[in-house]
Amino acid sequence: MRILHLLFLLSCTSLFAQQEPVFSQFFYNKLISNPGAAGSTGLPCFTAFHRQQWTGLEGAPVTQALSINSPILAGRVGLGLTVVNDKIGFYNSTFAQAAYAYRVDVADGKLGIGLHGSMTRYEADLSEIRTISGSNKTQEDMMDFSYLFNMGMGVHFENERFFVGASIPSVLDRGQSNGQVRHVFANAGAVLELSPTLRMRAAGAVRVVENAPPSFDAHLGFGFTEEARLWLGSTLRLSNNYNGLGGDALVAVGQYQISERLRAGLAYDMALGAVRRGNVGSFELMLEYSFVKAAPLVAALDLVFLTSIVAIWCILKGQVGRDLRQVPGLGAAGVFGIKDSNYLA
């Protein structure tokens, strides 16, 4: 019962104070929070994430993300598309955002100045609520929906050895009553070659949100082999949350370059606050696929691979059929964030 009560409090905090998703492998996932990073990979690039937070706690957060971005017009413009699904308890949010970045040469790198527009669908499945007696009949088949449009902006600089960026993912401050408050993100990182077979990566990230303590990530990792195909490292996350219920964690991170096109990553978070009791930690899986020139057969296999990733994402999301049955009409009122309750047969 204590765990359920704790999780409920954390759910309420997340609903109104931290709408932007947080990933431990943030140095591979810049586009989600910063439109200025669109096209920064130098090649068309597809990335998929699945994050299971506080595994073992009922109703704990689960997040999936898909993104694709590419430079165009000789690298002067970057385009990106991201879809993220975030579920915690009986509350689910899904957003899609399209990003545009104008990229200019600065010193030996590229500076991207970007904008994105996003549409978020919030859903509360009140039929999943259980009372102390274990009954949920009073909320049976009750759903609550809302839609919100927002815009974000950011700048991002990157070269072969260094990156730095800052962004405001949601410029329009909808306020806590609408579930969106303004965030400010900043991150930076560098890679140093220590020897022909050893590299070091240092990176950091800062997240600031209204009416909530800031959080900080400090990462140090090492790349092995001549091409640094294997990376192993650790991240320390601190949230300055006085009640011990924040996201403080020690993270073990590893990535492996499977082929020229495919990279896989895994992160394990061990919570440091009071929430560490009753769960076995958080797990995060990352797949990154770069589209390099290939023969027709390889291109066909690329398509099969990407289709499989999208299918797996839909299964993990776990509500495709329900969405098809229950999405209400999208009028102007829905677009601008007016809520509407639906009692479904």
Question: What is the reported pLDDT for 1?
Answer: 42
For the chain, the C-alpha Rg in angstroms (whole number) is: 20
Question: What is the reported pLDDT for 179?
Answer: 55
**Residue range of the domain that includes 217:** 2-343
Q: How far is CA 112 from CA 68, 117, 169, 203, 289, in A?
A: 16, 16, 15, 19, 21
Q: How far is CA 339 from CA 106, 149, 333, in A?
A: 45, 13, 8
Say what the pTM is: 0.79
Q: How far apart are the first and last CA of the chain?
A: 32
Question: What is the reported pLDDT for 16?
Answer: 39
Closest by CA to 342, choosing from 147, 125, 142, is 142
> In this structure, what DSSP letter does residue 33 have?
T
CATH number at residue 230: 2.40.160.40
Question: What is the reported pLDDT for 198?
Answer: 96
Question: What is the reported pLDDT for 133?
Answer: 58
Question: What is the reported pLDDT for 338?
Answer: 36
**pLDDT mean for each 10 residues of the chain (345 residues):** 44 47 88 94 91 86 93 93 90 92 94 95 76 54 74 95 94 64 90 95 91 88 92 91 68 93 93 78 93 66 68 60 40 38 31
Instruction: Kindly give the pairing relationship between strand 183-195 and strand 162-168.
Output: antiparallel
Task: Quote the number of domains for the chain.
Answer: 1
Q: Could you give phi then psi for residue 4, rounded to 5 degrees?
A: -65, -40
Paired tokens of 211: 């009416």
